[in-house]
Amino acid sequence: MGEVDERADVAVNVLTMEPVSYQVKGTLDGGVPGPFGTIRRFRVDQVYSASPPLAGEAIEMK
């Protein structure tokens, strides 16, 4: 992978062991050294369902 701006907007697809997945959108918030490179963390702005019957619907964050 190439260089990524430390404050870049990101979207991540989260797969579960159940037939459910989520899309998480946010902003990169730095990183720490890891055994295979930098481990990035990000600040979550919004979470969406990516599975039927609610695909694309925002999930309220508390």
Which string of DSSP letters, residue by residue, matches 40-53? EEEEEEEEEE-STT
Q: Compute the distance between CA of residue 4 and CA of residue 49 in angstroms, rounded to an integer.
A: 26
pTM across the whole model: 0.70
Model confidence over 27-61: pLDDT tens digits? 988 888 999 988 888 899 999 999 888 888 999 88
